[in-house]
């Protein structure tokens, strides 16, 4: 079970959290302007990398807030967590 | 004679506490402190089991959790019988009955031993090459026979009588293993008050110190140092000592799972203690001081009962005061067996030692033993053993530097202690995803770079010398560097794979994996057939796949593969270790999560009233809901008909409290709902309700429900019963992450409001006398309106809504008052024949009116238009969640499945929900299916059976006859509008 | 290829088994192949086998970064069934079952396909409706499936607890008698041996590190840890790592990779006769020929390539197993492991062309790919060989996520509302 650090509450066990998939995929301001392929990209296509991944978590059984995390999907190590709306942190070093 | 092999003195057993257990029906006397293995050996029992494949007689190989052979069924009474227990781990307890496994008719005379004779045709993987003809025979003939032959013990047939508990803990340092390194680590780590947990799988802490009688530490006997260390730790409030506790799983982010054996070692007739306790520890730092496993030697017939690991012989003698034999031959390729031999001699046993190494390689060991009168044969190999159900001799032969084997001789003996060196127990380290590193000097994999906050210490990382172990453990525990003075430990061994032999190695059985009967020639065969990765070898031969998970065999298998391929060991690779380290009882992992605690049962505030009034309940998600209220003599069908009639003709009362409720408040509340639902919300007036449908972004119906506007900035949203949590999560997600600029606050109020649905033509008559502050007149309180006031003096949000098609109200009251209000309505309604109805009648009533249930008419692939709700979509809205998806090509096709009514030609035929629909029942298979029945009931109001269905292009098929599957064939049915009763919807206005 | 039979086994027994040859060669890669399959799991090896066997493509290679069958092929609970709801799914999974039925003979390798029956339990009214929908749809599609009462379910699976007093009583079940299990490793090895005998190069420890494309965008080869290899056609069959491989060609996929766990008990004598699944309580169980209870757990919620999940997932599964079978509470967990499953939005696979000419993909089998192995390989072989989909995999396009023509088996089996 992961240990997830909520930016608002601190480190808590994973069962307090709900996962939300890839982060930084903003809902288009005007979906009707997108063609079907672009809309499908938004809905379904994900980078799914083996390595650092920006992803969404919700502290569902805690403060209830959504936030983002950088996690290495190869090792499951968290590199950073940060409130929703913030830019993806630059960890430097090319990671 | 009782306990003929018990030594007259010594050991850690308590001779003042005799006990008695049974083995295969025979009485076994033992002492407190014995393992079952020690008890059996003390009583001269050597033969304790039969091997998995060849049914060869087997005894006890080791003294610990690495034991592959001595697997017993243990019977502690009814509901407390389980198989495959390692005799070396089970503590002797008064009254338990243990028995051997995998033989017929008896352990001594096992017909399965014929497999040993057939073994030439049963090499590794033989089953992949045969049993293929004729095709049907695999399942009918071959497989049942293989299955019956396989398996070890017999699974219990009764429910478990024991209970298990869970415990969660945090600590600064978790030390796994309480040998010298672990004790030193725990001392160092706890010195400054930090919270430390020390766990060891043995009943006593100390590891090797429990049987190393001559070592000294810092000038004192090691046993005294151990006692002092334990006393220090026990006195520290910040230290938790967990004996009999195995750390079995090392998970992400230093989450460690351990099992503590609480009950089995006690006599427990009246004991309320659990059998086992699962600990889940989150540790800032983990120290793995898990020790090392001794390797057997691989030679012909190395599996006879009485042939053990050398260190285990020493343990049985020193710790349990048991003589595993009177004439013991030690066979070794390394130094540690010399100490065992010396201790055996000191215990009065006749001892010989054979070393594969040349005299010059052996160091001071031979001289030390010879001085004690022990015959030492260096430069000798082992080529076999004699005996059947117990070893009677070890066949040895001189071997020169070139591997040339000289003449054989047999050393008569009744016990053998063998040692092929040591393998660090890196299992937990590997589970933690640390990378292993091969250390050529000790021919073993050792921990490399840790992947988590972890340090390995002592023998677990290949440090075998006592003083070095102590210093290493101390450092791992965070202590400032210090030295320990201790007796030097004889370490070092020559790695050997299969021992040199003069026999035809292709034909002898030199076991590598004892439990799974994998021999050196099986490994060779696998490599010959192209299985070169050690994982392939494992899977093809099954080596390392038995219940001991290869603790004693993995290194030998790996070494053999490397030797055959002539590659360095690391190029062959090592296997990944997976949890658990040793097998863990299912019940321990389950804990108390059984029966009602398996999943919580949710009940509405009126549950007890329903139960008292004869309700039968159904499970809906976690909820237990009143399904129907049969009267004496009524079946479900009759009860539901009566309940429906009452609602249509007079008044019914229903507990709708399970509905999800969300309070949506704030300046932008209307705008928020406008974006979430498909329909329009901005102009809904306070005091009015509207039915809403919401989609997920993919355009498919997600949930529905009535929403009331309580005030310009306040909405009372209802969701489906199952949707409550996910709708709130969905709303929060959009609110927080997509539209953080909206000022809206979402609060779940599902538990706060109980909902009593009062439905039927007399609903107003029942309600009126109890309500204050609300004008119930139809004109001032119309359908789809909401009012606040009081009922029975209790504040209420009174909805005039109907899911039945009748005049009706949904009375929201604070949950604590629900029972009182319900009772008042119940009393007031008696003169109208008020009738409680359950979910089944609710389903019928809404189906008669064609109202959908999300999850029944919809399944995650259904759009609003599919269920005839396309008209609800507010065309003027530029956007709402899911809108764009509705414009995708496939959503616009005319042949989409659409909601229709379905009336079977036979009016009393209630079609099956889930039944499939075709146009032509005579077409060949595979048939073209048009859709399926989603809801189907007998309707008293319609005087016939009715059904709703999703049918391809259904709305264009009105009046067509289609054919519906039944258990006995097809039934014709006519497509109709999905409204069967009161088509204009006039009754709700009554 | 040395024929496997009792006769050759006896011959070799007299010869101390010295005469057995490698089951497949260990070739070094050639500079170029007519086609390359990336991924030496069951699906990839089956693809290569059928390409050689049915489409005459012998100059092809399978590239495996580790050892063949070491991914999900060797990590799954080996359940085989075809009782899927939608026509498209039923067609492909039943295609596979029909191949399973004669696979040992076709490959001359005993893959131990055992049609022990797959029983899926219904625990609430929603399950009942959903399973009957499956039963009827399957029967009209020619796929066997039948509805059992609780008593019939108990008769078929005697260890089952059908007491009405348990947390989720059994209300009935859907039984596919042709469903069952097979020996997962043998499937990989059998296909490898068969493909190798037809000339296919199976190259292990050869990781693809790049996909090379020409000026027209079409693939021209791959970069590997054993050097570059030229080829005009690449079939990617890399299960959990599909996104990683496809990214090398610049193709984004509608996939997420999750850990999926499974476990076995210590072996015991025969105690469980069939395969049993319960969606409502999230558990599935069978007993292997060796005697271990083989139990499937769920996926963790987060994307991961670590092949390791959390204990709470296993715990929930064992809770369910012990609730259904309280007599198994004293059995012991022997091994618990994880695989990486790539999951599509509709839980159905993607098998076919990609936007890159010459690049084909077979992925997205989620938690249930093993059962499809022969059928998947068979139709993908056709697809790669002919450059166009077999009629059975034609609906499983990447394009369906644009049009919305999803094949949503997961939604159709949604849990109770």
Domains of chain C: 13-80+184-253+346-403 (3.50.50.60), 118-177+256-343 (3.30.9.10)
Q: List chain C residues with CB under 8 Å of B506.
A: 16-18
Share of chain A above pLDDT 90, in %: 93
Q: Is the peptide bond before B580 cis (omega within 30 degrees of 0)?
A: yes
CB contact under 8 A, C312 and A44: no
Out of A1, A20, A34, closest to residue B255 by CB: A1
CB contact under 8 A, C301 and A19: yes
Nearest Cα to B356, choosing from B324, B375, B374, B380? B380
- Nearest chain A Cα distance for residue C28, angstroms: 28
| Integer CA distances (angstroms), B142 to B112, B153, C137, C287, in order | 16, 21, 34, 16
CB contact under 8 A, C257 and A73: yes
Question: pLDDT value at position A95?
Answer: 40
Asked whether residue B481 is assigned to any structural domain, the reply reads: no
CATH code, domain carrying B257: 3.50.50.60
Q: Is the model's pLDDT at C415 over the cut of 70?
A: no
Residue B581 CA to residue C336 CA, distance in Å, equals 10
CB contact under 8 A, A3 and B736: no
Same domain assignment for residues B273 and B302: no
Q: Is the model's pLDDT at C410 over the cut of 90?
A: no
Q: Is the model's pLDDT at A92 over the cut of 80?
A: no
Asked whether residue B651 is assigned to any structural domain, the reply reads: yes
Nearest Cα to B541, choosing from B554, A9, B926? B554
CB B61 within 8 Å of CB B83: no
Share of chain C above pLDDT 90, in %: 94
- Nearest chain C Cα distance for residue A72, angstroms: 8
Same domain assignment for residues B636 and B716: no
Question: pLDDT value at position C409?
Answer: 84
CB contact under 8 A, B139 and C124: no
Q: In which band, very low, low, confident or very high, does the pLDDT at C414 lie, cut at 50, 70 and 90?
A: very low
Same domain assignment for residues B121 and B88: yes
CB contact under 8 A, B530 and C326: no
- When the pLDDT of each residue in chain A is averaged and rounded to a whole number, the result is 95
Q: List chain C residues with CB under 8 Å of A75.
A: 306
Asked whether residue B582 is assigned to any structural domain, the reply reads: no
CB contact under 8 A, A19 and C244: no
Same domain assignment for residues B730 and B867: yes
Question: pLDDT value at position A91?
Answer: 82
Subunits next to B (3 or more Cβ pairs <8 Å) are A, C
Parallel, antiparallel, or unpaired: how do β-strands B196-199 and B164-176 relate?
Answer: parallel
Q: Is the model's pLDDT at C216 over the cut of 60?
A: yes
Asked whether residue B792 is assigned to any structural domain, the reply reads: no
Question: pLDDT value at position B575?
Answer: 74
Per the structure block, which two tokens stand in for B464? 């075998």
Same domain assignment for residues B351 and B340: yes
Out of B251, B698, B738, closest to residue A27 by CB: B738
CATH code, domain carrying B735: 3.30.70.1400
Same domain assignment for residues B14 and B107: yes
A75 compared with C281, residue with greater pLDDT: A75
Q: List chain B residues with CB under 8 Å of A30.
A: 878-879
Out of B128, B433, B854, closest to residue C109 by CB: B128
- Residue in chain B nearest A30 by alpha carbon: B879
CATH code, domain carrying B642: 3.30.1360.120
CATH code, domain carrying B92: 3.10.20.440
Asked whether residue B66 is assigned to any structural domain, the reply reads: yes
Per the structure block, which two tokens stand in for B106? 């008896």
Out of B254, B433, B729, closest to residue A75 by CB: B433
CB contact under 8 A, A74 and C306: yes
Same domain assignment for residues B410 and B437: no
Q: What is the mean pLDDT of residues A51-78?
A: 97
Question: pLDDT value at position B746?
Answer: 98
Outline where B770-836 has alpha helix (H): 818-829
- Nearest chain C Cα distance for residue B618, angstroms: 7
Q: In which band, very low, low, confident or very high, does the pLDDT at C413 lie, cut at 50, 70 and 90?
A: low
| Integer CA distances (angstroms), B919 to A59, B909, B922, C135, in order | 51, 19, 9, 18
- Nearest chain B Cα distance for residue C312, angstroms: 9
Nearest Cα to B512, choosing from B115, B47, B45, B51? B51
Give residue for tokens 């050690």.
B534
Q: Is the model's pLDDT at C261 over the cut of 80?
A: yes
Q: In which band, very low, low, confident or very high, does the pLDDT at A94 lie, cut at 50, 70 and 90?
A: very low
Q: What is the mean pLDDT of residues C324-338?
A: 96
| Residues shown for chain B | 990
- When the pLDDT of each residue in chain C is averaged and rounded to a whole number, the result is 95
CB B814 within 8 Å of CB B753: yes
Q: List chain C residues with CB under 8 Å of A44.
A: 254, 344-345, 401
Identify the segments of chain B with pLDDT beneath 70.
Answer: 1, 268-271
Q: List chain C residues with CB under 8 Å of A14.
A: 301, 310, 312
Q: What is the mean pLDDT of residues C166-194?
A: 96
Q: List chain A residues with CB under 8 Å of B451.
A: 75
Question: pLDDT value at position A58?
Answer: 97
Question: pLDDT value at position B595?
Answer: 85
Q: CB-based contact (8 Å) between C289 and chain B?
A: yes
Question: pLDDT value at position B636?
Answer: 97
Residue B664 CA to residue B676 CA, distance in Å, equals 12
Asked whether residue B105 is assigned to any structural domain, the reply reads: yes
Q: What CATH topology corresponds to A3-83? A: Folate-binding fold (3.30.2270)
Same domain assignment for residues B52 and B107: yes
Nearest Cα to B163, choosing from B674, B712, B595? B595
Q: Is the model's pLDDT at C416 over the cut of 60?
A: no
Q: In which band, very low, low, confident or very high, does the pLDDT at C169 lie, cut at 50, 70 and 90?
A: very high
Q: What is the mean pLDDT of residues C125-141?
A: 95
Residue B855 CA to residue B845 CA, distance in Å, equals 17
Out of B139, B532, B539, closest to residue C114 by CB: B139
**Extents of the domains making up chain A:** 3-83
Nearest Cα to B909, choosing from B937, B951, B949, B940? B937
CA dihedral of B476, B480, B481, B482, whole degrees rounded to 10 = -110
Same domain assignment for residues B870 and B950: no
Out of B740, B887, B889, closest to residue A85 by CB: B740
Same domain assignment for residues B521 and B647: no
Question: pLDDT value at position C412?
Answer: 62
Same domain assignment for residues B187 and B149: no
Q: How many CB pairs under 8 A join B and C?
A: 344
Question: pLDDT value at position C417?
Answer: 31
Out of A37, A41, A55, closest to residue C303 by CB: A55
Same domain assignment for residues B171 and B283: yes
| DSSP state string for B441-483 | GGTEEEE-S-SSSEEE-GGGGT--SHHHHHHHHHHHTTPPP--
Task: List all residues of chain C from 8 to 47 with a beta carbon under 8 Å from chain B.
Answer: 8-10, 13-14, 16-18, 20-26
- Nearest chain C Cα distance for residue A68, angstroms: 13
- Secondary structure letter of residue B139 according to DSSP: I
Q: Residue B609 belongs to what domain range?
A: 599-656+754-775+798-854
CB contact under 8 A, C403 and B590: no
Q: In which band, very low, low, confident or very high, does the pLDDT at C165 lie, cut at 50, 70 and 90?
A: confident
Report chain A residues touching chain B, CB-CB < 8 A: 1-3, 13, 18, 20, 26-27, 30-32, 34, 36, 39, 43, 56, 58, 60, 64-66, 75-76, 84-85
Whether complex ipTM tops 0.90:
yes
Question: How many structural domains compose chain B?
Answer: 7
Q: How many C-beta neighbours within 10 Å does residue B595 have?
A: 13
β-sheet bridge partners, residue B799: B786, B810
Q: Is the model's pLDDT at C289 over the cut of 90?
A: yes
């Amino acid at each position: 079970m992961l240990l997830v650090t909520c930016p608002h509450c601190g480190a808590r066990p994973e069962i307090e959290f709900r996962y939300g998939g890839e982060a930084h995929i903003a809902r288009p301001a005007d979906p009707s302007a997108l063609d079907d392929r672009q809309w499908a990209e938004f809905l379904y296509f994900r980078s799914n990398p083996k390595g650092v991944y920006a992803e969404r978590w919700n502290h569902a059984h805690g403060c209830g807030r959504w936030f983002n995390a950088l996690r290495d999907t190869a090792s499951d190590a968290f590199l950073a967590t940060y409130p929703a709306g913030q830019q993806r942190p630059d960890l430097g070093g090319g990671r | 004679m009782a306990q003929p092999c018990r030594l007259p003195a010594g050991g850690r057993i308590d001779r003042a506490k005799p006990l008695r257990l049974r083995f295969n029906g025979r009485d076994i006397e033992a002492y407190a402190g014995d393992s079952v293995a020690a008890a059996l050996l003390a009583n001269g029992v050597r033969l304790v089991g039969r091997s998995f494949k060849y049914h060869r007689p087997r005894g006890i190989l080791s003294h610990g959790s690495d034991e592959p052979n001595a697997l017993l069924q243990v019977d502690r009474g009814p509901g407390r019988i389980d198989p495959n227990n390692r005799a070396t781990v089970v503590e002797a307890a008064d009254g338990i009955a243990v028995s051997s496994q995998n033989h017929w008719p008896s352990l001594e005379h096992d017909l399965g031993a014929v497999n040993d004779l057939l073994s030439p045709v049963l090499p590794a993987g033989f089953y992949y090459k045969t049993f293929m003809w004729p095709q049907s025979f695999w399942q009918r003939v071959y497989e049942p026979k293989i299955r019956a032959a396989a398996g070890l013990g017999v699974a219990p047939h009764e429910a478990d009588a024991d209970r298990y508990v869970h415990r969660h803990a945090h600590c600064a340092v978790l030390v796994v293993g309480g040998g010298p390194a672990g004790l030193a680590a725990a001392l160092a780590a706890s010195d400054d008050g930090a919270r430390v947990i020390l766990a060891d799988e043995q009943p006593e802490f100390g590891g090797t110190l429990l049987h190393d009688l001559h070592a000294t530490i810092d000038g004192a006997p090691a046993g005294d140092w151990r006692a002092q260390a334990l006393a220090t730790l026990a006195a520290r409030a910040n230290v938790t000592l967990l004996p009999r506790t195995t750390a079995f799983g090392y998970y992400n982010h230093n989450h460690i799972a351990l099992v503590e054996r609480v009950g089995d070692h006690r006599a427990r007739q009246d004991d309320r203690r659990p059998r086992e306790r699962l600990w889940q520890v989150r540790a800032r730092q983990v120290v793995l001081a898990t020790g090392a496993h001794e390797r057997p030697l691989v030679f012909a017939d190395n599996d006879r009962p009485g042939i053990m690991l050398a260190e285990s012989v020493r343990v049985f003698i020193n710790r349990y005061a048991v003589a595993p034999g009177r004439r013991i031959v030690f066979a070794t390729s390394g130094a540690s067996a010399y100490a065992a031999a010396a201790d055996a001699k000191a215990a009065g046993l006749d001892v010989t030692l054979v070393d594969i190494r040349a005299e010059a390689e052996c160091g001071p060991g031979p001289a030390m033993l010879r001085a004690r009168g022990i015959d030492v044969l260096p430069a000798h190999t082992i080529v076999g053993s004699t005996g059947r159900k117990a070893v009677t001799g070890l066949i040895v032969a001189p071997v020169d530097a070139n591997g040339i084997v000289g003449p054989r001789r047999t050393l008569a003996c009744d016990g053998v202690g063998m040692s092929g060196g040591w393998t660090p127990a890196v299992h937990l380290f590997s589970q933690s995803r640390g990378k292993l590193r091969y250390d050529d000097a000790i021919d073993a994999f050792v921990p490399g770079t840790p992947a988590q906050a972890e340090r390995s210490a002592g023998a677990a990382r290949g440090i075998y010398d006592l003083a070095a172990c102590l210093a290493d453990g101390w450092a791992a525990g965070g202590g400032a560097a210090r030295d320990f003075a201790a007796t030097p430990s004889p370490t070092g061994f020559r790695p050997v794979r299969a021992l040199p032999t003069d026999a035809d190695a292709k034909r002898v059985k030199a076991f590598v994996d004892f439990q799974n009967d994998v021999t050196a020639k099986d490994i060779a065969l696998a490599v010959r057939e192209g299985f070169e990765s050690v994982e392939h070898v494992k899977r093809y031969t099954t080596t390392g796949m038995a219940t001991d998970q290869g603790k004693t065999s993995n290194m030998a298998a790996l070494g053999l593969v490397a030797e055959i391929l002539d590659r360095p060991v690391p190029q062959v690779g090592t296997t990944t270790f997976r949890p658990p380290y040793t097998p863990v009882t299912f019940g321990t992992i389950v804990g108390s999560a059984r029966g009602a605690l398996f999943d919580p049962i949710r009940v509405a505030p009126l549950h007890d009233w329903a139960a008292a009034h004869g309700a039968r309940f159904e499970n809906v998600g976690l909820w237990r809901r009143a399904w129907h209220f049969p009267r004496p003599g009524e079946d479900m069908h009759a009860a539901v008909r009566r309940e429906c009639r009452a609602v249509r003709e007079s008044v019914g009362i229903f507990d709708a409290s399970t509905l999800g409720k969300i309070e949506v408040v704030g300046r932008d509340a209307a705008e928020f709902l406008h974006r979430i639902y498909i329909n329009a919300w901005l102009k809904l007036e306070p005091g009015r309700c509207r039915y809403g449908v919401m989609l997920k972004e993919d355009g498919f119906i997600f949930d529905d429900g009535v929403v009331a506007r309580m005030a310009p900035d306040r909405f009372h949203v209802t969701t489906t019963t199952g949707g409550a949590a996910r709708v709130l999560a969905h709303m929060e997600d959009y609110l927080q992450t997509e539209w953080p600029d909206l000022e809206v606050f979402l609060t779940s109020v599902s538990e706060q409001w109980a909902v009593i649905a009062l439905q039927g033509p007399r609903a107003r008559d029942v309600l009126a006398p109890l309500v204050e502050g609300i004008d119930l007149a139809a004109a001032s309180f119309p359908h789809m309106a909401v009012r606040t006031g009081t009922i029975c003096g209790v504040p209420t949000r009174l909805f005039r809504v109907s899911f039945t098609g009748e005049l009706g109200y949904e009375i929201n009251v604070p949950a604590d008052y629900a029972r009182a209000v319900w009772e008042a309505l119940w009393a007031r309604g008696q003169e109208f024949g008020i009738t409680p109805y359950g979910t089944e009648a609710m389903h019928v009533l809404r189906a008669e009116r064609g109202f959908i249930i999300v999850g029944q008419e919809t399944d995650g692939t259904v759009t609003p238009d599919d269920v005839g709700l396309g008209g609800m979509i507010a065309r003027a809205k530029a956007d709402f969640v899911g809108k764009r998806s509705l414009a995708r090509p496939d959503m616009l096709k005319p042949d989409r499945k659409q909601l229709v009514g379905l009336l079977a030609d036979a009016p009393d035929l209630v079609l099956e929900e889930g039944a499939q629909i075709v146009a032509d029942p005579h077409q060949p298979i595979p048939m073209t299916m048009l859709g399926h029945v989603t809801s189907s009931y007998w309707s008293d109001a319609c005087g016939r059976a009715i059904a709703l269905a999703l049918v391809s292009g259904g709305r264009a098929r009105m009046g067509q006859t289609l054919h519906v599957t039944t258990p006995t064939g097809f039934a014709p049915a006519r497509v109709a509008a999905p409204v069967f009763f009161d088509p204009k919807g006039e009754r709700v206005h009554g | 290829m040395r024929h496997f039979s009792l006769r050759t086994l006896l011959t070799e027994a007299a010869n101390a088994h010295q005469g057995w040859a490698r089951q497949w060669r260990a070739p070094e890669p050639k500079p170029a192949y007519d086609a390359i399959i990336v991924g030496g799991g069951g699906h990839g090896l089956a693809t290569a086998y059928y390409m050689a066997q049915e489409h005459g493509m012998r100059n092809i290679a399978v590239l495996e970064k580790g050892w063949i069958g070491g991914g999900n092929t060797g990590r799954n609970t080996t359940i085989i069934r075809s009782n899927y709801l939608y026509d498209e799914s039923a067609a492909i999974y039943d295609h596979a079952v029909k191949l399973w039925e004669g696979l040992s003979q076709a490959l001359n390798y005993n893959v131990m396909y055992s049609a022990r029956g797959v029983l899926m339990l219904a625990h609430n009214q929603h399950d009942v409706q959903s399973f009957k929908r499956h039963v009827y749809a399957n029967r009209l599609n020619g796929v066997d499936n039948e509805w059992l009462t609780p008593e019939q379910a108990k008769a078929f699976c005697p260890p089952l607890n059908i007491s009405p007093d348990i947390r989720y009583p059994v209300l009935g079940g859907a039984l596919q008698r042709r469903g069952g299990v097979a020996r997962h490793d043998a499937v990989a090895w059998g296909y490898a041996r068969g493909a190798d005998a037809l000339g296919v190069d199976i190259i292990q420890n050869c990781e693809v590190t790049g996909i090379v494309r020409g000026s027209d965008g079409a693939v021209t080869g791959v970069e590997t840890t054993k050097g570059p290899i030229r080829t005009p056609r690449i079939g990617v069959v890399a299960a959990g790592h599909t996104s990683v491989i496809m990214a090398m060609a610049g193709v984004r996929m509608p996939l997420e990779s999750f850990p999926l766990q499974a476990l076995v008990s210590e072996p015991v004598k025969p105690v469980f006769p069939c395969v049993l699944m319960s969606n409502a309580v999230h558990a599935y169980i069978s007993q292997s020929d060796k005697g271990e209870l083989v139990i499937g757990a769920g996926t963790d919620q987060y994307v991961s390539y670590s092949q390791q999940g959390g204990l709470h997932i296993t715990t929930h599964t064992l809770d369910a197993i012990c609730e259904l079978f309280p007599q198994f509470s004293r059995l012991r967990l022997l091994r618990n492991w994880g695989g990486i499953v790539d999951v599509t939005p509709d839980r159905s696979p993607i098998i076919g062309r990609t936007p890159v000419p010459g690049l084909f993909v077979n992925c997205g089998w989620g938690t249930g790919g093993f059962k499809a192995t022969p059928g998947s390989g068979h139709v993908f072989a056709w697809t790669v060989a002919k450059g166009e989909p077999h009629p059975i995999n034609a609906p499983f396009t990447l394009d369906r996520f644009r049009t919305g023509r999803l094949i949503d088996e997961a939604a159709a089996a949604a849990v109770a509302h």
